[in-house]
Amino acid sequence: MPDKAALVLAAGKGTRMHSDRPKVLQTLLGEYMLAYVLAALRPHFGDDVWVVAGHQAQMLQAAFPDRRFVMQAEQLGTGHALMQAMPTLAGAGCRHILLVNGDAPLLDEHLVRIFLEKAEGADIAFASIVLDSPGAYGRVLREGGQVRAVVEAKDCDAPANGAQIHEVNAGMYLLDLALVAELLPCLTCANRSGEYYVTDLIALAATKGHSVRAVECGKDESFLGVNSPLELARMEELLRARVAERLLQSGVLLHAPDMARVSPFARIEPGAELTGPCEIAGRSEVRRGARVASHCVVLDSVIEEGAELRQFSHLEGARVGVGATVGPFARLRSGAVIAANAHVGNFVEVKNARLGEGAKANHLTYLGDADVGAGANIGAGTITCNYDGSHKYKTIIGEKAFIGSNTALVAPVSVGAGALVGAGSVITKDVPEGDMSIARGKQKNLPRKKV
């Protein structure tokens, strides 16, 4: 049984986001806000992480199908969320719980580690930061330097309890579950929000003489939450700049770094070269010596060593081999595999198809559900007709085959190695190896009627 587990608060509506989606499903650099929090927790808690879901819970579960959820049908505050989770946490047998807000995308593994180390031994510990403008954050009240309470901003009336206090609650707690079980029944909703606050546990514990500790984190903005589109944009820019700086320090060649949007979950090797504006999203990998030109979008794709992605190319779920060239204006869809030294040129679309080593499709082509052999040449305007309205079928093109321009290959069909298909053909039958096939109407030249 785990000594510690984590509970992520993600049930809120996020009214100020003006969106039908849960706030934690808003995206930064192409990733859900909640994904950043979960990634920060994973090295410390593994699978011992529960997420409190409420507003649009089905959307949250669909976005994170491998996560364990606690339902908060009514959103009556953070303390109420903890009440709903207590039976689950008690059943798991954990003694301490790290409670964290799901709307803090700048959290990282390092911050969580430091907090856990400094919180060790306290009955209740929470992170505090200092803000020049405390705004809507709960104020930390002290007496003789000791923490006595955290008062939410709405309930701060006197100047001494409000604007003059700059130390605020950062929204991360380490709680002794046995003490929480004792104190939770004492929570009330007698406040201006009419909600049960988890922060009220701090005053209750301090009054009873338990150990309460504020882990002071200076002015670190990494704990801050997102509550509006403006704050979301600011957070995304902070995150983008952090990723760009990390890449540059690691040895990535990054041109126009202010315009490069790279997911923290992408893997960019030292020696890779990116030119902004570009977007590298998801779990993409760009290997050493690969080059991604400006105005490219790469999602969940792999760019191997020495490959080149030219301007305005879009990749999603694709793989580009060593030394291959893609673009400009190419589109590689899910399942596209471009082998070593192959060429995919301008206005070529590849979907669920493999282009063999050294093969070329340089212009205006659609290759769907196809296997193209090494060294084959696909002429401009070629399409694989892979869909009959009900089912999809495969096209096979052998090694060093030559497909003439403006050819339609009606699947299922195969063109043998070394075969040649004449321009303008509609191929409905297999072409044997080494043969030449022409499937078009005979040209007729007729006298032109004079006007």
Cα–Cα distance measured from residue 133 to residue 164, given in angstroms and rounded to the nearest whole number: 10
Q: Is 352 annotated as a binding residue?
A: no
Q: Is 208 annotated as a binding residue?
A: no
DSSP conformation letters of 281-307 = ETT-EE-TT-EE-TT-EEES-EE-TT-
Contact 304, 290 (CB under 8 A): yes
Q: Is 346 annotated as a binding residue?
A: no
Q: Is 386 annotated as a binding residue?
A: yes
Q: Is 12 annotated as a binding residue?
A: yes
Q: Is 405 annotated as a binding residue?
A: yes
Q: Is 197 annotated as a binding residue?
A: no
Q: Is 311 annotated as a binding residue?
A: no
Contact 381, 399 (CB under 8 A): no
Q: Is 62 annotated as a binding residue?
A: no
Cα–Cα distance measured from residue 229 to residue 231, given in angstroms and rounded to the nearest whole number: 5
Q: Is 23 annotated as a binding residue?
A: yes
Q: Measuring CA to CA, which residue among 372, 83, 33, 415 is closest to residue 226?
A: 33
Cα–Cα distance measured from residue 6 to residue 300, given in angstroms and rounded to the nearest whole number: 28
Q: Is 351 annotated as a binding residue?
A: yes
Query: Active site residue: 44, 166, 210, 363, which one?
Result: 363
Greatest alpha-carbon span in the chain: 108
N- to C-terminal Cα distance for the chain? 94
Q: Is 78 annotated as a binding residue?
A: yes
Cα–Cα distance measured from residue 144 to residue 262, given in angstroms and rounded to the nearest whole number: 46
* C-alpha 366: how far from chain center: 29
Q: Is 440 annotated as a binding residue?
A: yes
Q: Is 316 annotated as a binding residue?
A: no
Q: Counting beta carbons within 10 angstroms of the beta carbon of residue 140, is it exposed (0 to 12), middle (13 to 18) or buried (19 or more)?
A: buried
Cα–Cα distance measured from residue 240 to residue 226, given in angstroms and rounded to the nearest whole number: 16
Q: Measuring CA to CA, which residue among 354, 366, 373 is closest to residue 408?
A: 366
Amino acid of residue 316? E
Cα–Cα distance measured from residue 86 to residue 49, given in angstroms and rounded to the nearest whole number: 13
Contact 285, 303 (CB under 8 A): yes
Cα–Cα distance measured from residue 275 to residue 293, given in angstroms and rounded to the nearest whole number: 5
Q: Is 9 annotated as a binding residue?
A: yes
Q: Is 333 annotated as a binding residue?
A: yes
Amino acid of residue 413? V
Q: Counting beta carbons within 10 angstroms of the beta carbon of residue 97, is it exposed (0 to 12), middle (13 to 18) or buried (19 or more)?
A: buried
Q: Measuring CA to CA, which residue among 442, 440, 428, 434 is closest to residue 399?
A: 434
**Residue 166 is a catalytic residue:** no
SS3 content of the chain, % helix, strand, coil (to 5): 25, 30, 45
Q: Measuring CA to CA, which residue among 35, 34, 47, 36 is closest to residue 6?
A: 47
Binding annotation: 9-12, 23, 72, 77-78, 103, 138, 152, 169, 227, 333, 351, 366, 377, 380, 386-387, 405, 423, 440
Binding annotation for Mg(2+): 103, 227
Residue positions annotated with a catalytic role? 363
Binding annotation for UDP-N-acetyl-alpha-D-glucosamine: 9-12, 23, 72, 77-78, 138, 152, 169, 227, 333, 351, 366, 377
Binding annotation for acetyl-CoA: 380, 386-387, 405, 423, 440
